[in-house]
Chains A and B, each alone.
Chain A
Amino acid sequence: MNVYIAGVGSTKFGVLPDRTLQSIAAEAARAAIADSNIPPARIGCVFVGNFVGGIMTGQELLGPIIAADLGLSNVAAVKIEAACASSSAAARIAYDLIRAGAEDVVLVIGVERLTGASRHALTTAMTAAIDQGTEGAAGLTFPAFWAMVMARHMHLYGTTREQVAAVTVKNRQFGVRNPLAQFQKQVTPDEVLASPPISDPIRRFDCCPATDGAAALVLTNQTLAKHYGSPAVRIAASVLVNGPARITDYDEITVHDGTVHAASRAYEIAGVGPEDINIAELHDCFSVAEIVDSEDLGFFAKGEGGPAAAGASSVRNSKLVINPSGGLLSKGHPTGATGCGQIYEVVMQLRGRHPNQVPNARLGLTHNGGGTAAAVTVHILESLR
């Protein structure tokens, strides 16, 4: 059975003071339900993707609480956690339920509140996705993980500091035109290279920001999408796999096995290859991540992601456009909401209604990673226009 995204909704990503997790989740969810044209009474399941709501706000049991806030009763409502891939993992489970015919309509919400805490508190919360018994004890953080990937990528392939900075510059350019983006101001390569070091060789402008935000999806089958006239997009593939859960489990840290395997399986299910993809929203939590991910997804050969970024072969109006939303670097990274946020962006592209519209976009891909790329999703979405 084919599965469709019938409706999407999103809050602005950024600093949302005086808002609760529940209120921003409800805002995105109501927008997605209205967008789908499907009556709320048809919803059978509510999945809430969230990473550190308990740590940052003290609030758990988000599934039932948010479902109640939406006026939904007698539904299955649970929180799904897979670190930064929480809401795309929830989308995968929703996809399976619809495809199997077990549910007709599933509401998937991603939500997070990360701003307002101290830098140490935020770093400590994020490192909850690092194995605390081993690598957390050594002091590994996520900037440090990606810094080690970057240093080795530079060593093995000659990737330069300037090539990596070009990713931030490109994604900030896209963010200028995306009203949902946290950063809507361009930066120069010199500003990236002069920003303060965080974990060498990663600097502040190589890092995505701490972000508040929520995004939501309504998934359904073909019959209901047609019946209610939903502006639907087909999910051609939805894959969730695990990768190495510790940096020391990697055979080679510049090759992220989870992404390689998820992409390979997604291309096979969808019957397409990387050369067929028009737009991709990649998990650029750090600028070098976009380079590594673009290689592991098959868009470029290993070692060619850096020159491709610097040569702007992935900017708008080229054959493949990467992160036209501005990516995590510019749109922001409300961890638990990011997966749904990426899908929201690709759906808007495939409907032809994106502020950074890619002409004739037919196939879009999202890639979302949790932890040390330990939980990875790849979705391939197809336009029905």
Chain B
Amino acid sequence: MDKLTIAGRTFDSRLLVGTGKFSSPQVMAQALVASGAEIVTVALRRVDIDNPADDTLREIDRERFLLLPNTSGARTADEAVRLSRLARAATGINWVKLEVTPDPYYLLPCPVETLKAAEILVKEGFVVLPYINADPILAKRLQDVGTATVMPLGSPIGSNQGLKTRASLEIIVEQSTVPVVVDAGLGLPSHVAEAMEIGADAVLVNTAIATAGDPVEMATAFRLAVEAGRRAYKAGPRAPTHSAEASSPLTGFLRNS
């Protein structure tokens, strides 16, 4: 599989994984390894980012994984910026997955506050990966501000509904000059394969792995699906047609004569 580049850094894996909702930090650690991911995101509200002995953090091998702090829980740009600064001061990591989700139920991202926070954070030297609704114009505005990626959602987070926003995602993929990471709502390996097939650069999965009957096996399945989808995309998939087209043309013999 070809490599992924975000903010000048290259990665072999195109699967990013979240660390919430697992039954234990140990199961999480095994699933992270099985996923083949190189970027793992961790909610600043769940960990003591300045404490390496934190139950979750100590299970994440920093040699293997880039730790991507996220601002989950922030309702405003101010809160997200404050959390990001705190995380950078404590860890030296200047990457942040920007999440501004004022609605505690569907956790949908606020476009206004996200753009505001992204502007501030980029100016302060952060590598910003913003979680957004699948809004092509917002994606462009963020790209203009200088974010490292855009992370549009496939469907509401944790919903396992797959690519409900496919039509908009296709526009974002077509137009974006930064990597597009489809984030949220990807409930099955077939969903991530679909996202990769339409040209997403990467995907982020959490709930579907963490709450599976066997999270480690599910992480493996997602790894394979990401790879399958990416390779299919690179291989140049043909568009579906309404008329039949046989693999071996039935009337081919007429042309030979």
A binds B: no
